[in-house]
Amino acid sequence: MIRYPRAQPHWPIRRWVSVVGLVEAVLLLAAVAGGVLAVGNLNDARTRLLDQSGPELLQANALSQALLNQETGIRGFLLTGQREFLDPYLAGRTQQDAAVTELRRLGALPGTQAGDDLEAVVRAARDWQTAVTASASPGGPPPAVGAADAGKTLFDRVRSTLDTLSAHLSAARDTGRADLNGAATQLTVLLLVIAALVVLLLVLLWVWLRRVITVPIMRLADEVRAVSADDLHRPVRGGGPRELVELGADVDAMRLRIVGEVSELERAHALLDTRTQELERSNSDLEQFAYVASHDLQEPLRKVASFCQLLERRYKGQLDERGEQYIAFAVDGAKRMQALINDLLSFSRVGRRAGEMTVVDTGKLLDDALGNLEPVIEETGARVDRGALPEVRGEGPLLTAVLQNLVNNALKFHGEDPPVVSVTAERQDDDWLFSVSDNGIGIEEQYAERIFVIFQRLHSKSAYGGTGIGLAMCRKIVEFHGGRIWLDTDVTQGSRFRFTLPALQPAPEPPAEHTEPLIETRTGNEDA
């Protein structure tokens, strides 16, 4: 029983990926949170600087300019008594109100540093305005001597409060600018940290992939290559994640299975070699038997036939009819035995002593076969018709034997009329289809396969001669040449044998078929 290696309790790749992904996600989320906080601080500092501190300082300057315009107009009026000098004062009052309103909108509310400073400026301006505008009102008394100097003292208080407001707002602006620069620096540093963190994570990921996955895969691949090269007995052990360990176990299980199959295959090869040697010895014995059968066994038969014929000639007329019949039986039996031995030898040699495969003209082979059968053709008064026959690759003597056996069967199993045999061929895809038809007694469909079995006869020896080997030899020869042979059971009169032979490549165009009588012999009946 094959024992497969068990996987060690390593982490699977899925868990490794989950852990690494979680660590990376936590670090990246922390970096992103820090970045968001830094961007928030930067936005807050920018908002305070651009939307509050800067505009407040501008409005404080506008308020200072409005109060200075008022002080200039009042001073001119107090010194000259002319009321047209009050126009800058009145315009300054309007600018003052607008500046104070805008400062309060921007955040200079009571309780804040800017709000308290603004209230101080407004109170000082109000005290100054109350003191210097009594004679400026319509119908008021003319300005008293020294009123301008008295107003200057009060306006100095206004100047002091304005300076305090401007100083505090400038300090707030500087603080906001410093905060903005700090937030920008913090964001820059954080972005650099995030970039460094990303690079570090990529490096760590590469190192992890190499150590946990790439290196175990390469090690497993080396072991598999070593096994596939020349060492099937080397165990395969996977390392790293659980999947690679299990893959190594599966590969090792496959290796063990292959080792078992290779062992079985080697045993089968050894058995096959033994059987091949036995078969070679058997073939050698058969060749020796064939030699003995063709020489030693036939020699006694020739002697029996010769001496029986000598007895027949020497004692002809001295023996009664029964004695002469016995001698005839002995001669005929010896001749039949010789024919049977020769046919068996021919059958056993088909495909075993292969000759040279050459391109042969089957028309020429048919001529040779008909030449061998010329006495039978003349005796039966047969006519052989033929079509255009192609060239094929094969052994000429064997293919001649096929055509001779088929034509001879047509001549042997004829009916009352003289035999008419037709030999044709037609191209079908990559094969030539040969047909040998006759007008004889025919063969029933139920015997279509039996007639190709050696020694299977459908008639008695007394009715039709032969050893029962001819068609079996035809099948063996045709199959040796890569074709097949069969009895066409669709014919209604006579019989038709068909067989195929591979066509030459590329296929030549066959000439137009024509029918011409090769031999036409009439005996006894002029109408045959």
Q: Are 195 and 77 within one domain?
A: yes
Express each pLDDT in 451-492 by its tens digit.
777 655 554 454 455 556 778 888 888 888 889 889 887 777
Q: Are 187 and 42 within one domain?
A: yes
- Does 280 or 433 have the greater pLDDT score? 433
Token pair in block for residue 385: 């018709």
* For the ranges 91-100, 206-215, 301-310, 512-521, the one whose mean pLDDT is highest: 91-100
- CA–chain centroid gap for 320, Å, is 91
Boundary (domain end) residue, out of 349, 365, 386: 349
Does residue 419 sit within a domain? Answer: yes
Express each pLDDT in 283-296 by its tens digit.
666 666 666 656 66
Tally the domains of the chain.
3
pLDDT over 70 (residue 138): no
Q: Are 48 and 138 within one domain?
A: yes
Q: Are 321 and 454 within one domain?
A: no
Dist CA 172 CA 106 (whole Å): 13
Boundary (domain end) residue, out of 188, 214, 240: 214
Strands 383-386, 420-428: parallel, antiparallel or unpaired by DSSP?
parallel
Does residue 143 sit within a domain? Answer: yes
Does residue 163 sit within a domain? Answer: yes
Share of the chain above pLDDT 70, in %: 75
Does residue 285 sit within a domain? Answer: no
pLDDT over 90 (residue 126): no
Does residue 308 sit within a domain? Answer: yes
Q: Are 47 and 195 within one domain?
A: yes
Q: Are 367 and 345 within one domain?
A: no
User: What local confidence, expressed as pLDDT, does residue 179 receive?
Assistant: 80
Does residue 473 sit within a domain? Answer: yes
Write b or e for each residue in 506-518: b if 16 or more Cβ atoms lie within 10 A of its Cβ, otherwise e: eeeebeeeeeeee
Dist CA 75 CA 151 (whole Å): 8
Q: Are 191 and 310 within one domain?
A: no
Output the pTM of the full model. 0.42
User: What local confidence, expressed as pLDDT, does residue 392 receive?
Assistant: 92
Average pLDDT of span 220-237: 74
Boundary (domain end) residue, out of 176, 195, 214: 214
Q: Are 452 and 492 within one domain?
A: yes
Q: Are 371 and 344 within one domain?
A: no
Q: Name all contacts of 171-176 with Cβ < 8 Å and 24+ positions apart.
A: 172/53, 172/56, 172/113, 172/114, 173/49, 173/53, 173/54, 173/57, 175/53, 176/45, 176/48, 176/49, 176/52, 176/53
CATH code for the domain of 78: 1.20.1420
User: What residue numbers bound the domain in which 386 lies?
Assistant: 356-519
Q: Are 337 and 461 within one domain?
A: no
Q: Which of the 8 DSSP states describes residue 453?
A: S
Does residue 220 sit within a domain? Answer: no
Q: Are 165 and 78 within one domain?
A: yes
What is the rounded radius of gyration, in angstroms, for the C-alpha atoms of the chain?
A: 64
User: Which distant-in-sequence residues (6+ apart) come within 8 Å of 117 by Cβ?
Assistant: 108, 161, 164, 165, 168, 169
Strands 420-428, 485-487: parallel, antiparallel or unpaired by DSSP?
unpaired
Q: Are 35 and 173 within one domain?
A: yes
436: β partners: 423, 497
Write b or e for each residue in 202-219: b if 16 or more Cβ atoms lie within 10 A of its Cβ, otherwise e: eeeeeeeeeebbeebbeb
Does residue 107 sit within a domain? Answer: yes
Amino acid at residue number 248 = G
